[in-house]
């Protein structure tokens, strides 16, 4: 937002846009972080007569994300292209928070192209893009930022491994089905205790704990996953997704599934020991051909040998170690001694992965190789024990080779050069019709007043803590106020009115040029490029097995740059 008053004050000096960032990794209060970063920026520019007239501050964004994937940084890049942007240069109070790895070398040329300067405290003023010394300094800070993040990850993971192994500490996450959390009192770290953090431990759930014991007992008696799931559903026992629907919105909630029974049988925490590091977060390149797009985080399973077990029993066991190992041996035998030979995994590209749904149950259809060719299937009744007996075949199959030619023909038809403008206008009109009323934003003064009240309470409680008040009581007060403050900020962000993008003739013409000749692009695109194109078009397909028809829906974002790369650059 441009500060008009500050802009008038800066008529005789430089006008600056301030950029900063804070994330959950930094473990800082967003407002406090913004204040000290802005204060550092002002200390740099005020001696030169500079004034900040615009602010761009990203909250909750990791430093590893490229600028185009941070909302406010992306807004700043867009503002650079506007000749009437209202500022002459950009000031950053902490370059290690703004630039990560090689991000400076990929961002600075954009500043230089549009004639916008970049000021940072580390060079004492404006960065000279032609100076090797400045380039080296900024590159070093990018490397330091990456190194700092990696060191934090290593320290945190090492500490958590030690806490799980030696102390058997519960390290967060949802409790396994059959357990619930028990409060063990304030956190041993005084700072965290003052913030309201508390220690927890698993204890058997009075309703679901016996269900876990029943699952193991029936499995050891020879019943299979599906038979157990069917019996639990028939007896009206809530499945994990039904017992905790708020954390399982991606599940159908119809009944017990084979996967839920299998997950319980595979979970060693039912033996009373804490087990950590079963999963890890990997950062995977979004596009191997374009490293500048950055990474996405994917959750993956670790090998059992890398799991961290507590040295002692730390919570009440639901299953004995002997029963757990016996169930494990049965599963291994059912796998035809799979553990004795190496499993060969072949990666298959499914062009419609995540885009195709079954019209009978609404679930996403899964990719399946059959006869060396890609198919899509829905095994809803095979995976879930349904108490309501949904009318659904055991398997719904669809060959990819039967669908893609029809789909490509439809896309080529509606995006033909003589029809593409009509198609885009029709989609824009439909989006406008379906758009709901916008929430009315709360006045900024009310939000500021509520935040000030919360801050005043926090100062009072901290003063009471320093004067010797009961830390447990005060920490509870602090936690309540912090939660109230976070709710105020979240509400302000949520109800902030979002201007609706108008489909002007210029926008439509730009999209027409970006889409190019869809027919030629589809003919030349490989499988991966075609999959990326479908995803960029926000294509959604529903297969009706009875009529063997496909219902297709699509949405085009006016910012069609990503589609341009997929259509033209992917051939």
Band of residue 482 on the pLDDT scale cut at 50, 70, 90: low
137-151, 473-487, 544-558: range with highest mean pLDDT: 137-151
Give all strands (DSSP E) within 305-363, no chain letters: 308-309, 356-358
3-state class of 39 per DSSP? helix
Which tens digits make up the pLDDT trace of 150-200?
Answer: 787 888 888 888 888 888 888 877 889 999 988 888 888 777 777 778 888
* 100-120 mean pLDDT: 91
Q: What is the pLDDT of residue 476?
A: 58
Range with the lowest mean pLDDT among 308-322, 347-361, 414-428, 519-533? 414-428
26: its two tokens = 């930094």
- Output the pLDDT for position 570: 27
Mean pLDDT, the chain, integer: 77
Instruction: Tell me the pLDDT band of 281, cut-offs 50, 70 and 90.
Output: confident
How many of the other CB atoms lie within 10 Å of CB of 93? 24
Rounded to 10 degrees, the C-alpha dihedral 103/109/115/118 comes to 30
Average pLDDT, integer, range 12-19: 86
Q: 381 Cβ partners below 8 Å, 6+ apart?
A: 390, 392, 393, 394
**Higher per-residue pLDDT: 524 or 315:** 315
pLDDT at 138 over 80: yes
| pLDDT one-digit tens code per residue, 52-102 | 999 999 988 888 888 888 889 999 999 999 989 999 999 999 888 888 888
User: Of 80, 36, 30, nearest to 54 (Cα)?
Assistant: 80
Residue-level pLDDT at 47? 92
- CA 82, 87, 90, 93 dihedral sign is negative
Cα dist. 377→148, 226, 404 in Å? 45, 19, 16
pLDDT of residue 9: 40
- Per-residue pLDDT averaged across 439-457, rounded? 69
Give 45's strand partners.
none
Least confident span in 75-89, 337-351, 361-375: 337-351
User: Bigger pLDDT: 565 or 28?
Assistant: 28
* Residue 365 reports pLDDT greater than 70: yes
- Selection from 202, 184, 246, 234 nearest residue 472 by Cα: 184
pLDDT band at 439, cuts 50/70/90?
very low
For residue 451, the model assigns a pLDDT of: 80
What are the structural domain ranges in the chain?
Answer: 4-149, 179-274+310-340, 346-435+500-571, 444-494
Average pLDDT for residues 446-457, to the nearest whole number? 79
The whole-number pLDDT of residue 444 equals: 57
pLDDT for the residue numbered 440: 47
Distances (CA, A) of 8 to 38, 55, 87: 20, 16, 11
The total of other beta-carbon atoms located within 10 Å of residue 56's CB is 20
Q: What is the pLDDT of residue 445?
A: 66
Q: Please indicate whether residue 30 or residue 496 has the higher confidence score (pLDDT).
A: 30
**How far are the Cα atoms of 293, 353, 543 from residue 525, in angstroms, in the given order?**
20, 17, 24
- Give yes or no for residue 420 having a pLDDT over 70: no
pLDDT of residue 309: 85
* Selection from 256, 178, 264 nearest residue 216 by Cα: 264
Residue 374: predicted pLDDT: 87
pLDDT given for residue 6 in this prediction: 41
Of the ranges 27-41, 189-203, 532-546, which is most confident?
Answer: 27-41
Tokens of 51: 């004034």
DSSP 525: -
> Residue 365 and residue 383: Cα distance in Å, rounded?
13
Residue 440 contacts by C-beta under 8 Å, 6 or more apart in sequence? 495, 497
- Class of domain 179-274+310-340 as given by CATH: alpha beta
Instruction: Render pLDDT for 224-261 as a digit per residue (tens, 0 to 9).
Output: 888 898 888 888 888 888 887 776 665 655 678 888 89
Q: Which contiguous run of DSSP H or E holds residue 488?
A: helix 471-494
Strand runs labelled E in 449-526: none
**Average pLDDT of 381-385?**
67
Question: Architecture of 4-149 per CATH?
Answer: 3-Layer(aba) Sandwich (3.40)
pLDDT digits (tens, 9 = 90+) for 319-343: 998 999 999 888 887 654 444 433 4
- Higher pLDDT pick, 527 / 560: 527
Residue 8 clears pLDDT 50, i.e. is over it: no
Considering 7-16, 337-346, 434-443, 530-539, the range whose residues carry the highest mean pLDDT is: 530-539
Share above pLDDT 90 across residues of the chain, in percent, rounded to a whole number? 18
Domains 4-149 and 179-274+310-340 share a fold: no
Query: Does residue 566 surpass a pLDDT of 50?
Result: no
Span 1-24, average pLDDT: 65
* Torsion of the alpha carbons at 27, 28, 30 and 32, rounded to the nearest 10: 180
pLDDT band (50, 70, 90) for residue 116: very high
Highest mean pLDDT among 29-38, 354-363, 466-475 belongs to 29-38
The answer, yes or no, to whether residue 438 has pLDDT greater than 70, is no
């Amino acid at each position: 937002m441009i500060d008009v008053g500050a802009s008038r004050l800066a008529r005789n000096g430089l006008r600056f846009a301030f950029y900063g960032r804070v994330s959950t990794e930094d473990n800082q209060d967003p407002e406090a972080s913004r204040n000290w970063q802005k204060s550092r920026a002002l200390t740099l520019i005020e001696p030169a007569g500079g004034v900040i007239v615009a602010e761009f501050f990203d909250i909750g964004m990791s430093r590893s994300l490229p600028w185009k994937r941070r909302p406010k940084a992306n807004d700043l890049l867009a503002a650079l292209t506007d000749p009437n942007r209202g500022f002459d240069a950009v000031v950053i109070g902490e370059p290690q928070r703004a630039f990560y790895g090689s991000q400076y070398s990929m961002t600075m040329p954009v500043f230089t192209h549009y004639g916008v300067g970049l000021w940072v405290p580390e060079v004492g003023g404006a960065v000279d893009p032609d100076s090797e010394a400045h380039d080296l300094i900024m590159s070093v800070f990018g490397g330091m930022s990456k190194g700092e993040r990696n060191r934090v990850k290593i320290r945190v993971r090492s500490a958590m491994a030690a806490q799980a192994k030696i102390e058997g500490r519960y390290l967060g996450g949802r409790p396994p089905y059959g357990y619930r959390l028990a409060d063990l009192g304030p956190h041993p770290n005084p700072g965290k205790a003052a913030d309201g953090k508390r220690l927890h431990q698993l204890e058997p759930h009075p309703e679901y704990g016996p269900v876990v014991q029943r699952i193991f007992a029936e499995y050891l008696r020879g019943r299979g996953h599906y038979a157990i799931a069917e019996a639990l559903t028939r007896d009206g026992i809530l499945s994990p997704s039904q017992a905790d629907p708020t954390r399982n919105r991606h599940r159908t909630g119809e009944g017990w599934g084979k996967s839920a029974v299998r997950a319980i049988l595979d979970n060693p925490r039912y033996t009373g020991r804490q087990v950590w590091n079963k999963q890890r977060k990997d950062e995977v390149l979004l596009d191997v051909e374009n490293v500048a797009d950055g990474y996405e985080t994917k959750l993956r399973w670790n090998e059992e040998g890398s799991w961290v077990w507590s040295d002692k029993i730390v919570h009440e066991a639901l299953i004995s170690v002997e029963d757990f190992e016996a169930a494990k041996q049965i599963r291994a035998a059912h796998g035809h001694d799979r553990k004795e030979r190496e499993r060969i995994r072949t990666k298959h590209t499914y062009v419609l992965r995540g885009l195709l749904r079954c019209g009978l149950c609404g679930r996403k259809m899964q990719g399946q190789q059959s006869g060396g060719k890609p198919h899509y299937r829905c095994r809803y009744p095979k995976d879930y024990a349904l108490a309501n007996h949904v009318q659904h075949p055991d398997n719904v199959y669809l060959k990819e080779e039967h669908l893609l030619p029809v789909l490509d023909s439809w896309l080529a038809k509606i995006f033909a050069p003589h029809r593409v403008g009509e198609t885009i206008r029709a989609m824009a009109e439909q989006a406008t019709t379906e758009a709901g009323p916008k929430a009315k934003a709360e006045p900024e003064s009310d939000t500021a007043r509520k935040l000030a009240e919360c801050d005043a309470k926090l100062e009072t409680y901290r003063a009471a803590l320093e004067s010797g008040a009961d830390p447990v009581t005060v920490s509870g007060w602090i936690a309540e106020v912090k939660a109230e403050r976070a709710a105020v900020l979240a509400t302000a962000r949520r109800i902030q009115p979002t201007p609706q993008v108008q489909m002007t003739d210029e926008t439509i013409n730009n999209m027409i040029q970006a889409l190019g000749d869809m027919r030629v692009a589809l003919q030349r695109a490989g499988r991966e490029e075609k999959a990326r194109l479908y995803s960029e078009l926000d294509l959604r397909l529903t297969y009706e097995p009875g009529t063997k028809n496909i219902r297709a829906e699509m949405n085009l974002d006016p910012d069609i740059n990503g589609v341009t790369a997929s259509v033209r650059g992917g051939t």
